[in-house]
């Protein structure tokens, strides 16, 4: 069966790197923040193996930045975050659950603090900017909320460090995890962070100005040629092996950060101004929570809708992400499991499009 | 060249009708409000011809509803709308530009008034719900803001009226344009409106409860068999011929309703509470505006990014949507044209991916 192609229009935005991604033979796209996000180059399995052994350049321009700038920037951000952001340093990145007043997750961005009154919120797939525009307007806050012309480009893989040292020097290579520094390219300062949506080593460059995109892409590709650098993308196998969550797949507005197993990023005693504080205080003991799960049998198809879990016929939750891992020779997944069934070692049954499979609740992710 | 397929995951949501859309042989999808929207079945041209001659069933579940319910529902809606909605009747639908405080367009939904304190905002492709959540929170308003389980299904084409009479009776057929009534299916009340994103005749059913989707789809298809009913979708040719705007393609947050040529939906004297009123008062004379345009030469490829317009080398705007119309034997488009060049009959030059073409600014759309 031929899979439907992605119909193209201006509304599904190209990125500054799309021309090179096309030339590299992208086979599948997804759409993320109204923008193209490459999903497959050779095959998900082959891309995964290469990511773990070499180095890849990822067009993740779809990680749009929402800039909050002004005297009330920190106040606005903290209103929506149960994580205490008041101690952030100006070279730090924080992973932050963002919630509505009920504690439902709206997004799970990386926040970059650039100055005391200036943040970039590097968003997952939802238009968080409008929430900030609404709140800032309603509370009469002194803050600018806008999407700057910033397009992240990720260098990921075990050889990322060597490559980044070659390109930008030893001091940049020595950037600590979730810290950011500044590089210069074509006369333009750009933020670079040690971060990225894989468990391999890596960096993300916040390309400042779309006009620099192709030149920087080419510059990196040339410098990495002998390292077997390839165009790549967030990998659907590796990110499940690593337990990296995907907003919209693993959790939605229906879920609290506690349900998403992000309790360590919730500091309710330290965030008196978080609008969800009261709601989250009531929901600290979740009724369900994300768990790594293994499914029996042959490789399963992609998980394009939630697959229901049961235990002896009783509802036990659902699986929201699944993939076959060649390295672990197993169907792996991330499941939202009801409290009665979430202990490691519990066995459940999942209904997949190709029939029922046995499911094992695991204690840990794979890598 | 093989076009990239759409990678599938739970995040790109299926609809209650996806199973039937797949069975009908959908060839291309786009993603709209994080949901699958069919884009092509046979070919854009063949789908267009069929839409104009028979009747089609469209899975437009991606037109998500944002329900505003409570004493402050109307107040919240009016804050974001330069169109006076206070005179709406409870069986009316309004096309409403929705703007931020600067007058930039956030969305261009159809608003359905269901009761004095209850509206559905049937959204174009942006997460408008978060704007309402933010404003409602910031202004401390007494209103619920949520996405109900409503999935629009459109019946479009010249034979839509005959089919709707067969299915739901003469009274429903006689629904006036942009009015809504109620039908009953499987014991469930559902809103039906005379509306839809084509210039052919048609209705939209607001399917209430995903569990009714497949049964209603089948019921309609069976009743329309002798009318040559087919699975269809919003058509990229017909909607340009008709001048039906597409948010994200034709206008964005960068544009005011005046620039989008939606001045007739702006009533600044009647909307003292609209937050954009002051900004829009300053922008009533736009510097650029949407215009229908014709491009010379052979059929052009799809417009996947803005194509720049010039007049004797000077910037004159851009084209955001384009298609080849078999019926008008011409490349047709919708352009944002600078004021100096927007008079009908003006000739410009557009830079397309296949080279420059002559452009004629038209006075009217085609149908």
Chain A CB contacts of B101 under 8 Å are 133, 137
The answer to whether the CB atoms of A4 and B5 lie below 8 A apart is yes
Confidence of residue A2 (pLDDT cuts 50, 70, 90): confident
Residues of B in contact with A72 (CB under 8 A): none
Please tell me whether residue A315 adopts helix, strand or coil conformation: strand
* B23, closest residue in chain A (CA to CA): A1
Rounded CA separation A84/B129 (Å): 26
Alpha helix (H) ranges present in B128-232?
128-138, 160-168, 170-173, 213-223
A185 pLDDT above the threshold of 60: yes
Q: Inter-axis angle of helices B160-168 and B213-223, to 10 degrees? A: 120
CA distance B108 to B121: 9
CATH no., domain B65-146: 3.30.70.1400
Contacts of A100 in chain B (CB under 8 A): 133
pLDDT of residue B291 exceeding 60: yes
Assign B228 to helix, strand or coil. Answer: coil
Q: Which two tokens stand for residue A4?
A: 């439907």
Structure confidence at residue B2 as a pLDDT band (50, 70, 90)? confident
What token pair was written down for A158? 């075990």
Please give the C-alpha separations between residue A206 and each of A16, A30, A234, in angstroms, as whole numbers.
12, 21, 16
Residues from chain A contacting residue B14 (CB–CB below 8 Å): 304-305
Fold of domain A18-63+149-239? Gyrase A; domain 2 (3.30.1360)
Does residue A144 belong to the interface with chain B, where contact is any CB pair within 8 Å? no
Find the angle CA(B252)-CA(B282)-CA(B66) to the nearest 5 degrees. 40
Residue A234 has pLDDT above 60, yes or no: yes
Domain-by-domain residue ranges, chain A? 18-63+149-239, 65-133, 289-367
Q: A18-63+149-239 with A65-133: one CATH topology?
A: no
The residue-averaged pLDDT of B80-88 equals 98
Position A280 confidence tier, pLDDT thresholds 50, 70, 90: very high
CA distances for A334 relative to A290, B13, B68, angstroms: 7, 17, 33
Per-residue pLDDT tens digits for B294-305: 999 999 998 999
Which residues of A, range 316-335, sit inside 8 Å of B by Cβ?
320-321
- What DSSP letter does each residue of B91-132 carry, written as one string? TBEEE--EE-TTS-EEE-PEEEEEETTEEEEE--SS-HHHHH
Q: How far apart are the C-alpha atoms of A49 and A69, rounded to whole Å?
A: 41
List the Cα angle A251/A256/A257 in 5-degree steps: 85
pLDDT of residue A330 exceeding 60, the answer is yes
Q: Is the per-residue pLDDT at A1 higher than 80?
A: no
Residue B137 is nearest to which of A4, A27, A138, comparing CB atoms? Answer: A138
> What distance in Å separates the CA atoms of residue B193 and residue B206, rounded to the nearest whole number?
8
CATH number of B287-367: 2.40.30.110
Q: What span, in angstroms and rounded, lies between the C-alpha atoms of B242 and A167?
A: 52
CATH class, domain A289-367, is: mainly beta
The dihedral over CA atoms of A156, A158, A159, A161, expressed in degrees to the nearest 10, equals: 80
**DSSP secondary structure, B265-323, as one string:** G--GGG-TT-TTHHHHHHTSS-SEEEEEEEE-SSPPPP--SPEEEEETTEEEEEEEEEE
Residue B138 is nearest to which of A8, A139, A304, comparing CB atoms? Answer: A139
As a whole number, the mean pLDDT across chain B is 97
Residues whose CB falls within 8 Å of the CB of residue A44, separated by 6 or more in sequence, listed in order: A235, A236, A237, A323
B192 near B168, Cβ under 8 Å? yes
Run of H or E residues at B35: strand B35-40
CB contact under 8 Å between B30 and A7, yes or no, is yes
- Residue A129 DSSP SS3: helix
**Is A255's pLDDT higher than 80?**
yes
Distance CA A24, CA A58 (A): 11
Residue B72 has pLDDT above 90, yes or no: yes
Residue B193 Cα distances to A52, A346, B117, B201, B259, angstroms: 54, 50, 19, 12, 28
Angle between helices A160-168 and A213-223 (to 10 degrees): 120
Residue A296 pLDDT > 80, yes or no? yes
CATH number for the domain whose boundaries are A65-133: 3.30.70.1400
CA torsion through residues B153, B158, B160, B161, sign: positive
Mean pLDDT within A244-261 = 98
Give yes or no for a contact between A41 and A24, defined as CB atoms under 8 angstroms apart: yes
Asked if residue B346 has pLDDT above 60, the reply is yes
A chain contacts of residue B42, beta-carbon cutoff 8 Å: none
Sign of CA dihedral A20, A25, A31, A32: negative
Number of A/B CB contacts below 8 angstroms equals 177
Query: What is the H or E stretch that residue B86 is in?
Result: none
Return the pLDDT at A302: 86
Q: What is the CA radius of gyration of chain B?
A: 21
Cβ proximity of A57 and A15 under 8 Å: no
How far, in Å, CA of B238 to CA of B68, rounded? Answer: 32
Instruction: Give A31→chain B minimum CA distance, Å.
Output: 7
Which band of pLDDT confidence, cut at 50, 70 and 90, is reported for residue A322? very high
Q: Which CATH superfamily is domain B18-60+152-239 in?
A: Probable tRNA modification gtpase trme; domain 1 (3.30.1360.120)
- Which tokens in the block code for residue A12? 């599904």
What digits encode the pLDDT tens for the residues B138-167?
999 999 999 999 999 999 999 999 999 999
Cβ pair A253, A298 in contact under 8 A: no
Structure confidence by residue, pLDDT tens digits, B191-208: 999 999 999 989 999 999
Is residue B1 scored above 60 in pLDDT? no
- C-alpha distances in angstroms, A84 versus A162, A196, A272? 34, 22, 10
* Reported confidence tier of residue A282, pLDDT bands at 50, 70, 90: very high
Q: Pick from A122, A9, A10, A107: which is nearest to A62 by CA? A: A122
* Cα–Cα distance for residue pair A230/B338, rounded to 1 Å: 42
Terminal Cα distance for chain A, rounded: 34
Question: Tokens 């291309």 map to which residue?
Answer: B28
- Which of A73, A121, A97, A112 is closest to A192 using CA atoms? A112
C-alpha A47/C-alpha A52 separation (Å) is 9
Q: Is the ipTM of this complex over 0.95?
A: yes
Residue B336 contacts residue B320 (beta carbons within 8 Å): yes
Residues 188-227 of B with CB under 8 A from A: none
Distance separating alpha carbons of residues A65 and A149, to the nearest angstrom: 8
A133/B132 CB distance under 8 A: no
Please indicate, yes or no, whether the overall pTM of this predicted structure exceeds 0.90: yes
Average pLDDT over residues B266-276: 98
- Record the tokens describing residue B200, joined without a space: 């052919």
pLDDT digits (tens, 9 = 90+) for A22-72: 999 999 999 999 999 999 999 999 999 999 999 999 999 999 999 999 999
Q: Which two tokens stand for residue B293?
A: 């345009």
Q: Which residues in chain A (254-273) have CB-CB distances under 8 A to chain B?
A: none
Alpha helices by DSSP H, listed for chain A, are 18-23, 44-53, 73-79, 128-138, 160-168, 170-173, 213-223, 238-241, 277-282
Mapping DSSP to helix (H, G, I), strand (E, B) and coil, where does residue A90 land?
A: coil
């Amino acid at each position: 069966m031929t899979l439907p192609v992605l119909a193209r229009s201006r509304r599904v935005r190209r990125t500054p790197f799309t021309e090179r991604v096309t030339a590299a033979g992208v086979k599948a796209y997804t759409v993320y923040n109204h923008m193209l996000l490459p999903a497959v180059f050779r095959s998900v399995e082959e891309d995964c193996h290469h990511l773990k052994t070499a180095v890849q350049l990822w067009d993740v321009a779809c990680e749009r930045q929402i800039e909050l700038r002004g005297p009330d920037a920190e106040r606005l951000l903290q209103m929506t975050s149960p994580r205490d952001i008041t101690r952030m340093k100006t070279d730090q990145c924080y992973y932050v659950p963002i919630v509505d007043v009920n504690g439902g997750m709206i997004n799970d961005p990386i926040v970059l603090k650039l100055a005391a009154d200036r943040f970039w919120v590097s968003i997952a797939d939802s238009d968080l900017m409008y929430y900030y525009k609404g709140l800032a307007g309603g509370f009469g806050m002194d803050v600018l909320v806008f999407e700057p012309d910033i397009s992240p480009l990720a260098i990921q893989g075990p050889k990322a460090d060597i490559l980044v040292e070659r390109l930008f020097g030893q001091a940049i290579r020595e950037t600590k995890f979730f810290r950011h520094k500044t590089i210069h390219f074509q006369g333009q300062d750009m933020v670079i962070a040690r971060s990225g949506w894989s468990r391999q080593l890596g960096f993300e460059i916040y390309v400042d100005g779309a006009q620099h995109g192709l030149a920087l892409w080419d510059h990196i590709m040339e410098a990495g040629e002998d390292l077997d650098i390839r165009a790549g993308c967030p990998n659907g196998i590796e990110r499940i092996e690593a337990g990296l969550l995907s907003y919209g797949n693993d959790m939605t507005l229906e879920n609290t950060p506690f349900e998403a197993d992000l309790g360590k990023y919730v500091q309710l005693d330290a965030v008196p101004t978080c609008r969800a504080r009261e709601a989250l205080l009531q929901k600290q003991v979740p009724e369900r929570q994300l768990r790594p799960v293994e499914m029996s049998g042959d490789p399963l198809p992609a998980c394009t809708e939630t697959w229901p879990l049961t235990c002896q016929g009783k509802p036990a939750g659902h699986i929201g992400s699944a993939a076959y891992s060649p390295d672990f020779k197993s169907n792996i997944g991330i499941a939202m499991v009801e409290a009665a069934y979430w202990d490691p070692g519990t066995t459940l049954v999942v209904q997949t499009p190709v029939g029922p499979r046995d499911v094992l609740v695991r204690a840990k992710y794979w890598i």
